[in-house]
Amino acid sequence: MTMDIRAAITEMGRSARAAARVLASSSVERRNEALLQIRAAIAADRDAILAANERDLEQGRESGLEAALLDRLALTPAQLDVLEEGLSQVAALPDPIGAVSDMRKMPSGIDVGTMRVPLGVIGMIYESRPNVTIEAASLCLKAGNAVILRGGSEAIHCNKRLGDSLAAGLSAAGLPVEAAQVVPMVDRAAVGALLTMPAYIDMVVPRGGKGLIERVAADSKVPVLAHLDGICHVYIDTDADREKAHRIAFNAKTQRYGTCNTMETLLVARAQADMLPGLVTALQSEGVEVRGCEASRQAAPDITVDAIEADWSTEYLAPILSVKMVDDVDDAMFHIARYGSNHTESIVTENAITAERFLRQVDSGSVMHNASTRFADGFEYGLGAEIGISTGKLHARGPVGLEGLTSRKYIVKGDGHIRQ
CB atoms within 10 A of CB 419: 5
Structural contact between residues 266 and 275, judged by C-beta atoms closer than 8 angstroms = no
Helices within 257-351 (DSSP H only): 276-285, 294-299, 329-339
Nearest residue to 315 (alpha-carbon basis) of 231, 389, 213: 231
The pLDDT of residue 1 is 45
Please, what are the averages of pLDDT over each run of 10 residues along the chain (420 residues)? Answer: 84 98 97 98 97 97 89 92 92 94 96 97 93 95 98 96 98 98 94 96 91 92 88 98 98 92 97 98 98 97 97 95 98 98 97 98 97 91 81 84 93 95
Residue 316 phi/psi, 5° resolution?
-75, -40
The pLDDT of residue 386 is 81
The pLDDT of residue 69 is 83
How far apart CA 402 and CA 407 sit, in angstroms, is: 10
Residue type at 268 in one-letter notation: V
How far apart CA 96 and CA 26 sit, in angstroms, is: 13
Helix (H), strand (E) at residue 47: helix 46-62
How far apart CA 295 and CA 396 sit, in angstroms, is: 39
Q: Could you tell me how many residues make up the chain?
A: 420
pTM of the prediction?
0.85
Could you give the 3-state DSSP secondary structure of residue 68?
Answer: helix
Residue-wise over 57-86: b if at least 16 C-beta within 10 A, else e?
Answer: bebbeeeebeeebeebbbbeeeebeebbeb
The pLDDT of residue 408 is 95
- What domains sit in the chain, N to C, each tagged with a CATH number? 2-225+396-412 (3.40.605.10), 232-380 (3.40.309.10)
Task: Return the biggest CA–CA distance within the chain.
Answer: 78
Helices within 93-241 (DSSP H only): 131-142, 156-172, 189-195, 210-219
Could you give the 3-state DSSP secondary structure of residue 19?
Answer: helix
The pLDDT of residue 250 is 98
The pLDDT of residue 323 is 98
Structural contact between residues 150 and 123, judged by C-beta atoms closer than 8 angstroms = yes
How far apart CA 317 and CA 331 sit, in angstroms, is: 25
The pLDDT of residue 2 is 67
What value, to the nearest 5°, has the Cα angle with vertex 328 and ends 325 and 333?
A: 90
Nearest residue to 315 (alpha-carbon basis) of 364, 363, 264, 257: 264
Structural contact between residues 390 and 397, judged by C-beta atoms closer than 8 angstroms = yes
